[in-house]
Amino acid sequence: MIVVPRILGKESLFNRLQAAIALICASFLALKVFVEFDVVERASSHGPAGWRIDATASLLAVVALSGFAALKAFELRAESDRRRAAEQRLVQLETQDPLTGLANRDRMLEFLGQALQTRKTGDEVTGLLLIDLKRFTPINDAHGRAVGDRLLRMVGERLQSVAREGEMVARLGGDEFAVVLPRLDCARAARHPAQRLVRALEAPFEIDDLALRIGGAAVGVATSANTELRPGVLVHHVDAALQRAKRQQSADSCSDRRGTGKA
């Protein structure tokens, strides 16, 4: 993720060099015109009239060559902009879920790793929530993929709207979302954001003439407690907690698991 800006910077410098080279080449071509057609010598031999005629011809040649160089420079700039946009799009695809625009799994793991490493005190805890929509599959089967995709986008927007500052909402795939909770006071503090997020999903989602209810969500909760967990270990714990939550019958079921692994 750090390499791309450097590549873009080098590419910009390269394109500027290309433009400069094009202008230098145009200047040399103009000089060649002067020499090839004996502009100075003929102008001297023909007096003031010759100067005017040859000067006009030379000026036209210079203007034409300069125009060519400028056009080439604009083409290089346009190509550079297209490449930059394509590379930025690739970077975006590497870090964002294409459907919802939320962070994807890779970006979530990166953010989680940073949160685990930047705890300011030993008492601070990093939490991870894993959210699974209970009735998404029947809704998607009944109303089609287009409605299902819109529903996922709306779920992502609603989760994002109730997330607190510093929390990251991500979509891991399918109907599974994750929320990273950095700098919690204690392990139990992770349950309050979980309840807040589940309550946000209780209201129906209006799509065209449909009012869809996802029937709540199963939520797995895992925390780093007092140990420095690797992101993969914490994900393993929260996935186990989610599986337990799915087995519960409550529509807003919530299970938690305290991390015990070591970095």
> Residues 173-190: pLDDT tens digits?
999 999 999 988 888 888
What torsion do the CA atoms of 36, 37, 38, 42 make, to the nearest 10 degrees? 180
Task: Evaluate whether 182 touches 115 at the Cβ level (below 8 Å).
Answer: yes
**Half-sphere exposure (CA, 13 Å, Cβ side) for 169?**
20
Picking from 3-7, 8-12, 222-226, 245-249, which range would have the lowest pLDDT averaged per residue?
Answer: 3-7
Query: Six-digit token pair at 29?
Result: 């071509």
What average pLDDT does range 123-133 have in this prediction? 90
Query: Six-digit token pair at 41?
Result: 């010598």
Hey, what long-range contacts does 61-64 have (CB within 8 A, 24 or more apart)?
A: 61/30, 61/33, 62/30
3-state secondary structure of 254: strand
Confidence (pTM): 0.64
Q: What is the pLDDT of residue 41?
A: 53
Using the structure block, give the residue that is written with the tokens 């337990």. 244
Query: Six-digit token pair at 150?
Result: 């819109």
Q: How far apart are the first and last CA of the chain?
A: 24
Percent with pLDDT over 90 in the chain: 40
Confidence check: pLDDT of 13 > 90: no
105-258: which CATH topology? Alpha-Beta Plaits (3.30.70)
Average pLDDT value for the chain: 77
Phi, psi of 223 (to 5 degrees): -135, 155
Confidence check: pLDDT of 209 > 70: yes
Strand-pair category, 217-223 with 254-258? parallel
What average pLDDT does range 246-254 have in this prediction? 60
The structural domains of the chain, with segments of one domain joined by +, span 3-95, 105-258
Q: What is the pLDDT of residue 263?
A: 32
How does pLDDT run across 36-78, given as a tens digit for each residue? 555 445 545 555 554 444 556 566 666 776 676 677 777 777 7
